[in-house]
Amino acid sequence: MMVLFSGIGQSDPALVQDSLKVGMGALSGSTILALTLAYGIMIIMGRVDMDATTGQAMYNKKVKLTQD
């Protein structure tokens, strides 16, 4: 919808093209920002400690996230 509405209301094809470029840039920029934030939050919030002997994730213990 952002791209559609960015080109409506102008009669000159050059102005419409420039407006559509701005609309596409805003759409791609907001998508990249949203994906980057979601990925960063997933990496930070999804950390768990690993058992040193078996290499299994320890979900039931209190998280330390430090090396002994």
pLDDT, tens only, 2-59:
777 777 777 888 888 888 888 889 889 999 999 999 999 998 888 888 888 898 888 8
Give 63's DSSP letter.
Answer: P
Report the alpha-carbon distance of residue 63 to residue 49 in Å, rounded.
6
Is the distance from CB of 32 to CB of 25 less than 8 angstroms?
no
pTM of the model: 0.59
Alpha helices in 1-68 (DSSP H): 2-7, 13-45
Report the alpha-carbon distance of residue 65 to residue 68 in Å, rounded.
10
Closest CA to 65 of 43, 48, 42, 45: 48
pLDDT band at residue 65 using 50, 70 and 90 as cut-offs: low
